[in-house]
Amino acid sequence: MRVSDLQAKDVVSLMDGKKLGRIVDIEIDEGGQVSYFVVEPRRFFRFFSNSGEVSVRMNQIKKIGEDVILVEI
C-alpha cells in the first residue's frame, strides 16, 4: 500500500466515531520506520478553525479498510 492510498481514506476514531480528517504527512525516524501519521481535519475554511493536526502513531491504528482508517485515540 502506498501513502497516497492512505491519504484518500478518512481517519475515524473508534472511541467516539468522530471523523478526524485525512492523512496529510508522515514522520519517519532515523531508522526508516514510520513514527506517526499527521492527520488534519478536512475543512473548506481551515484558517477559521482552531482545531489543528493530530498525530497518530502506528500502534493506534486498529484497522485499515477500503474507505476508512480506524484509530484508537
Over residues 20-47, the pLDDT tens digits come to 999 999 999 999 999 999 999 876 555 5
pLDDT at 46: 54
Listed by start position, the domains of the chain span 3-71
pLDDT at 1: 82
pLDDT at 44: 54
CATH of 3-71, one of 3.30.420.40, 2.30.30.240, 3.50.50.60, 3.90.1300.10: 2.30.30.240
| 14 has a pLDDT exceeding 80 | yes
> What's the grid cell of residue 3?
501513502
Q: Which helix (H) or strand (E) holds 6?
A: helix 3-7
Q: Dump pLDDT digits (tens) for 43-71.
A: 655 555 556 789 999 999 999 999 999 99
Residue type, 61: I
pTM of the predicted protein model: 0.81
